[in-house]
Amino acid sequence: MDKGSLESGLTWEVRANSRQYHNHKQKKSVLCFHWGRYADNVIRSNKYSPLTFLPLTLFEQFQRVANLYFLLMMVLQCVPAISAIPWYITIIPLLIVLSVRGAKDLANDMARRRSDAEINSRPCDVLISKSFSKGQWRDVRVGDVLRIHKDQIIPADLLILCSSEPHSLCYVETADIDGETNLKFRQALGATHNELTSHPSEEMLAAFDGVALCEEPNNRLYTFRGQLHWRGECFLLENEHILLRGTVLRNTEFAYGLAIYTGADTKIMRNCGKLRVKRTQMERVFNRVVMGIVLSVLLTALLLAIGAGVFSSWVMSHTGPLSPLVVNGNPVYTGFLIFWSYIILLSPAMPIALYISFEVIHTVHSLFIGWDREMYWQPADRPAQARNTSLNEELGQVGYLLSDKTGTLTQNRLLFRQCCIAGEIYGDATVQAEDIEPMDLSWNPFSCGGLFMSAPDLLEKLRGQQCPLSRQFFKALSLCHTVMAEWKEEAPVYQAASPDEEALVGAARELGWVFLSRTRDFIDVSELGVPRQYQLLALVDFTSKRRRMSVLVREPEGGLKLYCKGADIVILERLHKDCPYQERMERALELFAQACLRTLCVAVRSVPEALWEQWSKTLAQSAAMATAERDALLEKLYDQMEMELQLIGVTAIEDRLQEGVPETIALLQQAGLKVWVLTGDKKETAVNIGYSCKLLDPETRLLEWQELRQILQSPDPGVSFFKARQMELWAVDKQPAGAKTAVVLTGPELAEFDQRPEWGATFMSLAEQCQSVLCCRVTPGQKADIVTLVRKHTRSVTMSIGDGANDVNMIKTAHVGVGLAGVEGGQAVQNADYALSQFRFLQRLLLVHGHWSYRRISFFLLYFLFKTCGFALVHIWFGFFNGYSGQSLYEPWFIALYTVFYTAFPIMCVAFFEQDVNADSSLKWPELYKSGQRQELSSPLMLSLSLLYAIYTSLVLFFIPLGVFYDTAYDQQVMAVTVALAATLTATIEIVLMTRYWTKFNLAAVCVSVVLFFICSKITNSTILFQKSPIDYYFIGASDKAFIDPLIWLTALLTTWMAVLPSVTALALNVILTMHDKHKVHSVSRQPVELRSKFTRGASHRRSSYALSQGSGPGRLITSASRIPSTVPTVDEKVTEEGEHSVTGGVYISPIGDIRSHG
């Protein structure tokens, strides 16, 4: 048997109730050594342990070139022979940088530990020595038998042994795993069910000694293979026997399960991806620049060292070893020492303070995000939160937004908003659901709110017994469904496979037709307080091919009625020939579709007793037939049953989008972002949400897998794609080809990309021209794969947004991950870089905070490079005039204070407060955001320009004073003060030119910096300090002497003006040349306002609603209403295709239908 299982790949052996066996093989690890097989059920997302923190954090930090470089500098400066400047000039900033960063990492890690501990200590019941005892998740081991209560989260992947429900069914909610909100059922094996439920279960369970053989842990959520060997028999295990960690047990009193995979081995954890340290693109570019600077410094130092060697050999040959210049030893050795001296001397060109400033700026930007009242969600008292404080500038560069659907775009709330009964429309969808005046339903003891429709006239008709059709309509709603009622505190609570049904049954309840309970054969309903029992003769369930469902009931009075509800095109073609009100109903359908409501038609048919007898015979007949044959027969029978219907009404349900979703998406699209939807949900739902949130236009052509595949396989995908689009244009519209195509993919189709890695690039190049891409039925792992695909094939910044555990992986994988703090567990937020409460806050996060952050940080970077290089490179030019001796042109204190005191504050103020336009304008002109996507301010070109400018500045800073001081009696210290003055003034003027938003802080910072320069020069050149330490403060009196000399001031003035002249000129030309562009921007940017007003106008094209859980009219402009006939057929085609697909997917298995087939 074992051999067989090895061959089939079932190598994961789990023995029930034998901890001893599994403990033995427990997974353990010390440092980097791991052994054992079975992981424990403890989540560890922390990076450090007390022992590894220091080495790990140092290791991480010294991976940064600059930190390592500065460590080296410090060591070098301790060698007197080469120490051009004292060592303490370097160590202080380095220590600060290291400790601040380390403290931040530690704090983050502690937060992760805390949240892990919270999860690991959740309670659960574990069977230990014949009785269940309260335990924690961390105690669960492979092979343990667990008892899960209703509404508990399942702690590990379990094999169901039995449950409290008939046939050991369990209902689970998988929203946290795949985003679907309908209940799924799972079932125990018949064998375990029969054996384990017949006796007091605890004893039986304790004695259970089955051995499960299954696959090694993997990340495939929808498949499971295994065998259970018990009592000499072998049972096959499948996905339906497994409860996954992270799902929630619903509707089931309790279930018993055997832990198969625990902790890191569970399917959801395997889907979670690795914790990775995110670094921004700009930081990466910047690291490259730093590398470049290091290399150039090394090269320059080498050249200068060669110069030094030549010079010293020249001095040696002319004056001998005892020259005044003290050149001792051989020239090569001198050159060697000078090399290191120059590396030290040029090291200020390496902007080490930049890293610490970076941290500070990022932190402040993150605080601003948290402080923003516009992103504060009052109902939950939750402000936005930047959990990762080092990604802010990426927010201004996002090119791809990959969004989850359920809970992110939609609220996951379905509201019964309108209905049309007998041609009469009730309710008003133009009023916001929250603003509707609730009707007085106090007469109804079962009413518990949740109806967002105001129709007093309908109520009057219903209660006044005037309108039989409307009564029948609600009777139909209360009978024709697969909802189950559960009694809680004297009121029924409905559990539905689809939220739409729940909304419909709930609406019927509010209006007096209360579905009370169901048994196999009867449905109990209270009609306006009168209890009635209907006998359920047949229930023909929904499939996505049929797109309708029916019930055949015997009324208490004796008549037979068939109630049917379904998609309009399905129902309309099955109507009785001369159905009254049909025209008015169809108009109602159009109206509802305009308002983006999901519609369903409700119809009825009176069935004569004789006909039913005939049908029931056929049904009995079919029970004995083979499956395929039976299915064909039943299909035909159902077709006959659902004929000659009489249309009684249309329902309209609103799938509530999160507030402001369509506006946000439109705004983001204008800002040049590509918005993709990745969802675990069904394709139909995803497409409909795509329409209702304006991600897709009604005229958008959907490109599906078959077609896409052909395009990808064709030799020239670009051309084929263009053709495919052209055809569409020919048929429908003359609009520019632009972004009117969208790709719809499903998970299994995406899996093909694994085999064809070459498709990735092609696909991305196509997708770039598409309006959007929708990926449905994708696993969390696939979501992450899509993010990876985008990251790999474009240079854009990706952002993922989601709210559930199934989004964690993609949130971690994207450059920036945003978690919505929604109803579902905080998993997404825990792992996200930014936590928001509402999808619409994204526009502010990106367009305002992101845009500002990007500009601020770009300016900061450019300026920092300029100011450090500009002042440090002077030493190269000075080298030519001092025999390449490594002499510093500046006072060492100036070098230390320049970066910290004289130039840091103004640029920090710019990095904190700079705004090119204010928040409102940023939102008004989303086009401004594109500069970040194009990296206009942070491109390598800009960085190189900044460096070139720095080189120019250093030349000016040295050569103009050189010209003035050449062959004069001015000494070196006065020249040092002059150059320092000019350098400080240049840096200051440069920042003054850069600042566009002068707050009082900016002004103060600029003034303080300049004043500090004079004060600090005065202090370090003072007599008192000199007397304390003559070696450190040997510039005594230099600045006093220099500042009273008009020539020094004139020199500094000339040097400064010359140094800033290029940027002043550039600024001036920019102002002169862009005057007209600005006008253009302003006139163009009125567009978005108009666009937004279009939303309120709504759409007028009626679109077939999908049955049951789907169905929504896409938006369409009033003008295109005339095109109904031309597009309906194509819709039809599409729907059929989708239907086929869904059938194979096997999503719509109604629990009740299943029970019936069992019984």
Partner 1 sequence: MVKQELANRPDNTAFTQQRLPAWQPMLSAGIIIPGFVLIGLAFIGIGVALFVTSRSIQVLEIDYTGVETSHPCFTCSDPDVKKCVCQLDFTIDSLFKGPVFFYYGLNNYFQNYRKYGASKDDDQLSGDLSNFKSPSDTCSPYEYDSNNNDKPIAPCGSIANSMFNDTFKLYQKVNGSKKLVPFDGKGIAWWTDYNVKYRNPDVSPLKNAFNGTVKPLFWPKPAYELDPSDPANNGFINQDFLVWMRRAALPDFRKLYRRITEGDYRLGLPAGDYNLEIAYNYPVLSFDGRKKVVFSNVSWMGGKNEFLGIAYLVIGSMCVFMSLVMLIVYAKFKFPEED
Q: Which residues pair with 776 in a beta bridge?
A: 746
Please say which residue, 362 or 740, places its beta carbon nearer to partner 1. 362
- Asked whether position 1056 contacts partner 1 by CB under 8 A, the answer is no
3-state secondary structure of 745: strand
- Select the span of 159-167, 631-639, 1021-1029, 1133-1141 touching partner 1 (CB under 8 A): 1021-1029
Please say which residue, 321 or 580, places its beta carbon nearer to partner 1. 321
Please say which residue, 341 or 798, places its beta carbon nearer to partner 1. 341
Distance of closest approach, residue 330 Cβ to partner 1, in angstroms:
15
**Interface residue with partner 1, options 9, 55, 559, 1037 (CB under 8 A):** 1037
- Among candidate residues 139, 404, 541, 697, the one labeled active-site is 404
3-state secondary structure of 394: helix
Q: Convert residues 72-91 into a mask of x (bound to partner 1 by CB under 8 A) and - (unbound).
A: ------------x-------
**Interface residue with partner 1, options 31, 107, 322, 626 (CB under 8 A):** 322
Which residues between 224 and 263 bind partner 1 (CB under 8 A)?
Answer: none
- Asked whether position 1031 contacts partner 1 by CB under 8 A, the answer is yes
- Asked whether position 1072 contacts partner 1 by CB under 8 A, the answer is yes
Helix/strand/coil (H, E, C) string of 582-594? HHHHHHHHHHHHH
Element (H, E) at 990: helix 972-994
- Asked whether position 857 contacts partner 1 by CB under 8 A, the answer is no
Reply yes or no on whether 404 is catalytic.
yes
Contacts (Cβ under 8 Å, ≥6 apart) of 657: 409, 410, 411, 689, 692, 693
Please say which residue, 919 or 951, places its beta carbon nearer to partner 1. 919
Which residues between 920 and 979 bind partner 1 (CB under 8 A)?
Answer: 960, 962-976
Q: What does 456-483 look like in DSSP terms, one character per residue?
A: HHHHHHHHTT--HHHHHHHHHHHHSS--
- Asked whether position 1001 contacts partner 1 by CB under 8 A, the answer is yes
**Interface residue with partner 1, options 152, 168, 271, 341 (CB under 8 A):** 341
Which residues between 472 and 501 bind partner 1 (CB under 8 A)?
Answer: none
**Interface residue with partner 1, options 86, 93, 102, 370 (CB under 8 A):** 370
- Asked whether position 305 contacts partner 1 by CB under 8 A, the answer is no
Phi and psi at residue 418, in whole multiples of 5°?
-150, 160
**Interface residue with partner 1, options 21, 62, 446, 998 (CB under 8 A):** 998
Please say which residue, 823 or 1050, places its beta carbon nearer to partner 1. 1050
Give helix 281-319 / helix 851-872 axis angle, nearest 10°.
Answer: 0
Q: What does 9-21 look like in DSSP terms, one character per residue?
A: T--EEEETT-HHH
Give helix 874-881 / helix 940-965 axis angle, nearest 10°.
Answer: 40
Which residues between 823 and 852 bind partner 1 (CB under 8 A)?
Answer: 852
- Asked whether position 94 contacts partner 1 by CB under 8 A, the answer is no
Give the integer Cα–Cα distance in Å for 182 and 191: 28
- Asked whether position 1119 contacts partner 1 by CB under 8 A, the answer is no
Q: Which amino acid belongs to residue 664?
A: T
3-state secondary structure of 838: coil
Distance of closest approach, residue 919 Cβ to partner 1, in angstroms:
7
Distance of closest approach, residue 675 Cβ to partner 1, in angstroms:
26
Please say which residue, 21 or 336, places its beta carbon nearer to partner 1. 336
Distance of closest approach, residue 1071 Cβ to partner 1, in angstroms:
5
Please say which residue, 1015 or 1068, places its beta carbon nearer to partner 1. 1068
Element (H, E) at 818: strand 816-820
Contacts (Cβ under 8 Å, ≥6 apart) of 508: 474, 477, 478, 514, 515
**Three-point CA angle 470, 475, 478, nearest 5°:** 130
Of the candidates 327, 162, 171, the residue with the CA atom closest to the CA atom of residue 249: 171
Give the integer Cα–Cα distance in Å for 960 and 1061: 14
Instruction: Calculate the dihedral angle through the C-alpha atoms of 167, 168, 173, 176, rounding to the nearest 10 degrees.
Output: -140
Query: How many CB atoms lie under 10 A from the CB of residue 367?
Result: 13
- Asked whether position 695 contacts partner 1 by CB under 8 A, the answer is no
Of the candidates 427, 352, 496, the residue with the CA atom closest to the CA atom of residue 865: 352
- Asked whether position 1068 contacts partner 1 by CB under 8 A, the answer is yes
Please say which residue, 322 or 624, places its beta carbon nearer to partner 1. 322
**Three-point CA angle 542, 548, 550, nearest 5°:** 80
- Asked whether position 1030 contacts partner 1 by CB under 8 A, the answer is yes
- Asked whether position 1129 contacts partner 1 by CB under 8 A, the answer is no
- Asked whether position 872 contacts partner 1 by CB under 8 A, the answer is no
DSSP state of 382: B
**Interface residue with partner 1, options 276, 318, 520, 795 (CB under 8 A):** 318
How far CA 1007 is from CA of 997, 1010, 1064, in Å, comes to: 16, 5, 20
Which residues between 880 and 909 bind partner 1 (CB under 8 A)?
Answer: 881-883, 885-888
Give the integer Cα–Cα distance in Å for 1015 and 1024: 14
Please say which residue, 490 or 967, places its beta carbon nearer to partner 1. 967
> Quick one: how far is CA 55 from the chain centroid?
32
| # chain residues binding partner 1, by CB under 8 A | 85
Please say which residue, 133 or 968, places its beta carbon nearer to partner 1. 968
Q: 568 in the Ramachandran plot: left (φ > 0), alpha (ψ -120 to 50) or beta?
A: alpha
Distance of closest approach, residue 1074 Cβ to partner 1, in angstroms:
9
Q: Which residue has the tokens 């008004």?
A: 924
Distance of closest approach, residue 374 Cβ to partner 1, in angstroms:
8
- Select the span of 523-531, 715-723, 892-900, 999-1007 touching partner 1 (CB under 8 A): 999-1007
**Interface residue with partner 1, options 49, 323, 614, 713 (CB under 8 A):** 323
* Residues 694 and 662 sit within 8 Å (Cβ to Cβ): yes
Please say which residue, 713 or 968, places its beta carbon nearer to partner 1. 968
Please say which residue, 261 or 1033, places its beta carbon nearer to partner 1. 1033
Phi and psi at residue 834, in whole multiples of 5°?
-135, 140
- Select the span of 65-73, 568-576, 608-616, 1046-1054 touching partner 1 (CB under 8 A): 1046-1054
- Asked whether position 328 contacts partner 1 by CB under 8 A, the answer is yes
Give the integer Cα–Cα distance in Å for 958 and 977: 12
Give the integer Cα–Cα distance in Å for 376 and 383: 4
- Asked whether position 59 contacts partner 1 by CB under 8 A, the answer is no
Distance of closest approach, residue 1002 Cβ to partner 1, in angstroms:
8
**Interface residue with partner 1, options 373, 488, 734, 795 (CB under 8 A):** 373
Q: What does 221-259 look like in DSSP terms, one character per residue?
A: SS---EEEEETTEEEEE-GGGEE-TT-EEES-SEEEEEE
Which residues between 376 and 405 bind partner 1 (CB under 8 A)?
Answer: 376, 378, 381-383
Beta strand residue intervals within 658-757, DSSP E = 674-678, 701-703, 741-746
- Select the span of 33-41, 491-499, 698-706, 1058-1066 touching partner 1 (CB under 8 A): 1058-1066
Distance of closest approach, residue 967 Cβ to partner 1, in angstroms:
4
- Asked whether position 310 contacts partner 1 by CB under 8 A, the answer is no
- Select the span of 135-143, 789-797, 927-935, 1050-1058 touching partner 1 (CB under 8 A): 1050-1058
- Asked whether position 1044 contacts partner 1 by CB under 8 A, the answer is no
Of the candidates 905, 872, 874, the residue with the CA atom closest to the CA atom of residue 1012: 905
- Asked whether position 1054 contacts partner 1 by CB under 8 A, the answer is yes
Please say which residue, 117 or 1069, places its beta carbon nearer to partner 1. 1069
**Interface residue with partner 1, options 726, 1065, 1087, 1136 (CB under 8 A):** 1065
Residues belonging to the active site: 404
